[in-house]
Amino acid sequence: MAQFLQQLSNGIVIGATYALIALGYTMVYGIIQLINFAHGEIFMVGAFGGLALYLYALPESVADRGYMLPLVFLAAILTSVIVAIIVERFAYRPLRRAPRLAPLITAIGVSIFLQEAVRLYFPDAKSARPFPEYISKRNVGIGGVGLPIVAIFVIVTAILLMILLQTFIKQSRTGKAMRATSQDPDTARLMGVDTDKIIVITFAIGAALAGVAGVMQGLQFGQISFSIGFTAGIKAFTAAVLGGIGNITGAVLGGFTLGIVEALATQYLSSTYKDVWAFIVLILVLVFRPSGLLGERVATRS
């Protein structure tokens, strides 16, 4: 039982990162029906943005101090958001009315480009780079389960952000505009919503969450590399679809489900096939609920 709880909490920690990235996927999908394959790369770029601040901008004497962490987060968020806005403006926006699959290929091109740009032009990024340990990895026991402090931090931050996002989308004027655009962009425009601006804001919010997730990844695993975006991207996309793509609560639910399934399967089934279980669960869920756990609308545009 203790072991089960342990794995369950490990799964929740992994799931929190997945969920944060999945939110970006699902929001962008919800609003322009684009599978933004470059989103995993935005997450990676964010992590490197945070690392760059630590390495090159902060004075060495204080760079390691815990109170610098908010600055690192800020740098990561800024990097992710700026890159995402540039990508949206120059790669996706010109293709808004192109056939459905064209932006998908563009997204893949962007993904390759960002990965390679970091690998080649971030100093020494060809192999993994260590990430500063701002938050201790020391275990604390909670009800028979040992969790590192950093893991608790990750879960709490992720949940706070999700509540914040939920409130923003439900309550704010911009959130309302976002929902309107996702339901019917043409009508939204007629009602005076600047849809182009809303799309940019959506990209930016998704990117900010991905940037936070990037730093969290660094804090948890102690290192980041140019290739982390790819796997995380695929997993997060899986999570988004699992929950019902386009649905924000669904993305969170999907992220946590995927994380927990992975952790439990690694423990009880076979660790070599860890990723296989994640996909099998996805397939099983979709066979019985063809539009994901919480999805209602079925995407038919092709």
- By CB under 8 A, name the binding residues for another protein: 29, 35, 91, 94-99, 101-106, 108-117, 120, 234, 237-238, 241, 245, 272-273, 275-276, 279-280, 282-283, 286-287, 290-292, 298-302
Indicate the residue among 23 and 212 with the shorter CB distance to another protein: 23
Indicate the residue among 111 and 217 with the shorter CB distance to another protein: 111
**Rounded Cα gap, residues 147 and 72, in angstroms:** 23
CB of 60 vs another protein, minimal distance in Å: 30
CB of 10 vs another protein, minimal distance in Å: 21
CB 270 within 8 A of CB 27: no
Indicate the residue among 52 and 117 with the shorter CB distance to another protein: 117
Indicate the residue among 102 and 156 with the shorter CB distance to another protein: 102
CB of 113 vs another protein, minimal distance in Å: 3
List phi, psi (to 5°) of 60.
Answer: -60, -35
- The three-state (H, E, C) secondary structure of 186-246, written as one string: HHHHHCCCCHHHHHHHHHHHHHHHHHHHHHHHHHHHCEECCCHHHHHHHHHHHHHHHHCCC
CB of 112 vs another protein, minimal distance in Å: 4
CB of 3 vs another protein, minimal distance in Å: 24
Quickly count: other Cβ atoms within 10 Å of residue 284's Cβ.
10
Tokens in use for 273?
């096939």
Indicate the residue among 172 and 231 with the shorter CB distance to another protein: 231
Indicate the residue among 1 and 190 with the shorter CB distance to another protein: 190
CB of 267 vs another protein, minimal distance in Å: 17
CB of 114 vs another protein, minimal distance in Å: 8
**Rounded Cα gap, residues 27 and 108, in angstroms:** 18
Indicate the residue among 64 and 194 with the shorter CB distance to another protein: 194
Tell me how many degrees the CA angle 208-212-214 measures, rounded to the nearest 5. Answer: 110
Q: Name every residue whose Cβ is closer than 8 Å to that of residue 250 and which is 6 or more positions away in sequence.
A: 26, 240, 242, 243, 244, 292, 293, 294, 295
Tokens in use for 239?
């999570």
